[in-house]
């Protein structure tokens, strides 16, 4: 099913995406986000996927995992505390999604040394540490730059 996203819809979708970026730790669901975008939940979900290439839930979980990675690198919170801090309500679901996106469990990620990236500005580090789901551009675990082939896609 082809969904055409109008410029007006895109503005509304960006408003909802901004809420996810800012309020990722709050309980957010499709009906609440659809209300922000002034759309029905079904139209919101279809339009969001058409505009951004992933479902609203997937986008929100990616934001939460990004934040969880930063908290785990600090090392002062347990995995359970990080799970709840980023807005997840199930440790099992959090750990499964974290492992799916990052390639290792939250405990293994937390235990690993992270000093080598400490000197990199956060805005640059965010680009290279963004969780990327397998089967999407950048599936090799690093972003694909314009004009560069993804090594994972070649295999």
Looking up residue 99, the CATH number of its domain turns out to be 1.10.10.60
Report if residue 30 sits inside a domain. Answer: yes
Q: What is the pLDDT of residues 135-153, one digit of tens each?
A: 554 444 444 444 444 444 4
Taking the CA of residue 13 as centre, how many other CA atoms within 13 Å lie in the half-sphere pointing to its CB? 23
Q: What is the pLDDT of residues 63-105, one digit of tens each?
A: 999 999 999 998 899 999 999 999 999 999 999 999 999 999 9
67 and 15 housed in the same domain: no
Given a contact cutoff of 8 angstroms between Cβ atoms, the answer to whether 55 and 45 are in contact is yes
Q: What is the DSSP letter of 77?
A: S
Domain with 17, as residue range(s), is 7-53
Q: How many domains does the chain have?
A: 2
């Amino acid at each position: 099913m082809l969904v055409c996203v109008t410029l007006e819809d895109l503005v509304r979708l960006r408003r909802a995406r901004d809420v996810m970026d800012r309020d990722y730790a709050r309980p957010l669901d499709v009906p609440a986000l659809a209300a922000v975008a002034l759309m029905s939940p079904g139209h919101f979900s279809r339009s969001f996927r058409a505009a951004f290439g992933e479902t609203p839930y997937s986008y929100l979980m990616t934001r939460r995992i990004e934040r969880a990675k930063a908290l785990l690198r600090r090392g002062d919170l347990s995995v359970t505390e990080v799970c709840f801090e980023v807005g997840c309500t199930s440790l099992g679901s959090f750990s499964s999604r974290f492992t799916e996106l990052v390639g290792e469990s939250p405990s293994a990620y937390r235990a690993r040394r992270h000093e080598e990236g400490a000197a990199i500005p956060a805005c640059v580090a965010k680009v290279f540490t963004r969780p990327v789901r397998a089967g999407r551009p950048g599936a090799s675990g690093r972003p694909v730059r314009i004009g560069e082939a993804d090594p994972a896609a070649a295999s």
